[in-house]
Structure 1
Amino acid sequence: MKTLLSLLLSLICFSVSAQKTDSTHTHYRYVRGGFIEHSTELKSQRGVKNGIATILSGKKKLATGMYKNNERIGRWHFFCPLDTLEQIYNYSTKKLEYNAPIEELTFEIDSLKEGDKVIYPAKIGGHLYGMYFLTSRFRIPNEVKNIKGFHKLNYIFTISDSGQLTNFEVKISSLSYNKAEIMDLSKLHPDDLAFVPAKVNGHAVKSKLIVNGDITVD
């Protein structure tokens, strides 16, 4: 009996010792877009994110969530300015659990009928964080900078029924200018191509998500 008790105590002590030597620490690093990520990693797996993470732009919080072996898991919360919750996406279930409406967005879905139940597409990561990596790719043409007046700016994303970005077009239009540019998808990060697809009556469908803006040249 004493021998068994001693063995159990030894195992408990070894377990506690192992947990201490494999404890976590917070790592601060710059990530894509010039943002700062505060992430947790095990001391035994340096460079492999495990645990809580927060992504910041300066002092503004953009996202919080969990990593396991460098992969995002569970619910991630994405924020607008002033720390307002914009989106909750569950990376484990691949479900969008919350998505705040954004005034600048419009949508196009073919063959909609009256009475259809529609769930519109969304960019994983939200409008402020997730969409940033797409819209920041575009540069206003120099010729537009020399044309005074108001110009409509539309980022047009074509999304497949599986939630993949299949076409990215940027259109500038006004009384004196009307041109569109097709962006090269091969230059984008795989995360940038990932959307939540639109659904009509419970079935995923192809759609377009359009970010509306404007350019004013004085």
Structure 2
Amino acid sequence: MKSITLLFVALFYINTGFAQETIIRKHRLTDSVMEKISVLKSDKSTRQGLYQAVSSKNIAVASGQFNNDKKTGIWHFFDLQGRQLQNYDYTNKKLLFEAVEDTTSNLRYFVDKVLTDSDRTTKPVKAGGRYFGYIPYLKLFKLPAYLMDINRYLSVAVVELLVSPGGRLADFKVHIYSGANYEKVFNMSTDMPNDEDKVFIPATVNGEPIGCRIMIKCQINNDGGINFF
């Protein structure tokens, strides 16, 4: 029994020696969401361990684990009201749960095909869910200086993403609408999002992948950025 105990203690100290010490870094993701990221103490650019994105009301909108700067295991995603939107397994690249989307959603989907009542369709899906998963696109846009005086109450932004049948980002635009007649379209570079943010589960019609446009209605912030309604 003594030898077994000594062996256990030795293994404990060996494993502890291999464990990498981490610290928590905080970063403001949006005006209402803060990131809490575990990073290596020896290399603060490498994410390792627990990740959480938490709203100003202390509601987690994303939680999961990093291993050597890569998302691993099952992540959970929620909206700002705490309603579960998605579970995604990053280790196996598998969607485990996607909440039903109703007419209150700010996202709309359009395929270049006339659909019939008998067509079976699925929408494109972004890992990260319908809130957290699309934040990276919204963060890439800011009104140019000449439009900063636009009336925020009479204006709306619409982010347009084209997802190819292969599940890749093929086009990225931001439309600004103001009043009854004004529209300005900004063509965004598809190179701007990182590689992970360019990947989707593609839309399908009758089991066949198809290109699909995602339109996201957004509000324009005082600083010229855009956010979900």
Contact 2:39 2:45 in 1 (8 A): no
Alpha-carbon displacement from aligned partner over 1:11-59 (angstroms, at most 9, x marks no partner)? 5443222123334655211357363224376x89986544433233443
1:162 partnered with 2:161:
no
1:180 partnered with 2:195:
no
In the other structure, the counterpart of 2:67 is: 68
Mark the runs of 5 or more structure 1 residues left unpaired by the alignment.
Answer: none
Q: Supply the distance in 1 between the matched residues of 2:63 and 2:42 (Cα, whole angstroms).
A: 23
In the other structure, the counterpart of 1:54 is: 52
**Counterparts of residues 102-141 of structure 1 (less than 5 Å):** 103-111=105-113, 112-141=115-144
Compared with structure 1, are the counterparts of its residues 149 and 57 closer, same or farther at alpha carbon in structure 2 (3 Å cutoff)? Answer: closer
- 2:154 aligned residue (147, 150, 157): 150
What code does the residue aligned with 2:74 have?
A: R
Q: Supply the distance in 1 between the matched residues of 2:121 and 2:106 (Cα, whole angstroms).
A: 19
Contact 1:28 1:36 in 2 (8 A): no
**Counterparts of residues 187-202 of structure 1 (less than 5 Å):** 187-202=192-207
Larger of the two Rg values belongs to structure: 1
In the other structure, the counterpart of 1:208 is: 213
Compared with structure 1, are the counterparts of its residues 46 and 167 closer, same or farther at alpha carbon in structure 2 (3 Å cutoff)? Answer: closer
TM-score by length of 2: 0.75
Q: What is the CA-CA distance between 1:83 and the residue it aligns to?
A: 2.3
Contact 1:118 1:200 in 2 (8 A): yes
In the other structure, the counterpart of 1:37 is: 36
1:97 partnered with 2:115:
no
Q: What is the CA-CA distance between 1:76 and the residue it aligns to?
A: 0.7
Compared with structure 1, are the counterparts of its residues 46 and 38 closer, same or farther at alpha carbon in structure 2 (3 Å cutoff)? Answer: closer
Q: What is the CA-CA distance between 1:118 and the residue it aligns to?
A: 1.1
What code does the residue aligned with 2:54 have?
A: L
TM-score by length of 1: 0.78
Q: Supply the distance in 1 between the matched residues of 2:111 and 2:181 (Cα, whole angstroms).
A: 30
Aligned identity (percent) is 25
Contact 2:157 2:175 in 1 (8 A): yes
Q: What is the CA-CA distance between 1:193 and the residue it aligns to?
A: 1.7
What code does the residue aligned with 1:109 have?
A: V
Alignment RMSD (CA, Å): 3.3
Mark the runs of 5 or more structure 2 residues left unpaired by the alignment.
Answer: 222-229
Q: Supply the distance in 1 between the matched residues of 2:47 and 2:185 (Cα, whole angstroms).
A: 40
Contact 1:67 1:73 in 2 (8 A): yes
